[in-house]
Amino acid sequence: MSRAAKQQLNDGPKIRKEKIIASKMIRIYCKRKHHAQELCEECRNLNEYVRTRLSRCKFGDEKTACAKCPIHCYTPVYRQKIKSVMRFSGPWMLLYHPLESLKHIPIPEKIKKSISR
C-alpha cells in the first residue's frame, strides 16, 4: 500500500458540512435537470468524486472555499461539471440554505446585494 493511500481522510466538521452541501446541490441539480428520483449515474459519480476530493483535501478543516483554493484538485472535466451544478443549484440553495450559500457559492453580486439589503 502506498503512503498516499494510508493518508488519513478528513473528517472534521467543516469537511463534513461541505460534503452535505455539495450533495444537496447535486441532488437539486439532478432532480430538476435530469428528472431523476434518486441520483442518476452521472450525478452519483460526481457526488462520489466531490466527497473523495473533500476527504483528501490537504487543507482539511482549514480549507477555504473550493472556488478560492489555490490548488485545483479537480480534473477539468469534473471541475466543469461541479461548476454547472453550482450555477444551477446556487439560486435554489439561496432559498433553502441562504447562509451557507453566501459563504460557499459564487453568487452574482447583483443577487448578493438584493439579499443583504
Cell of 113: 446585494
34: contact with Zn ion by CB under 5 A: yes
Among 28, 30, 66, 107, binds Zn ion (CB under 5 A): 30
Smallest separation (angstroms) from Zn ion to the CB of 76: 20
107: contact with Zn ion by CB under 5 A: no
Instruction: Kindly report the three-state secondary structure assignment for every residue of 82-116.
Output: HHHHHHHHHHHHHHHCHHHHHHHCCCCHHHHHHHH
Chain center to CA of 49: 10
Among 22, 43, 46, 54, binds Zn ion (CB under 5 A): 43
Binding residues for Zn ion, per CB under 5 A?
30, 34, 40, 43
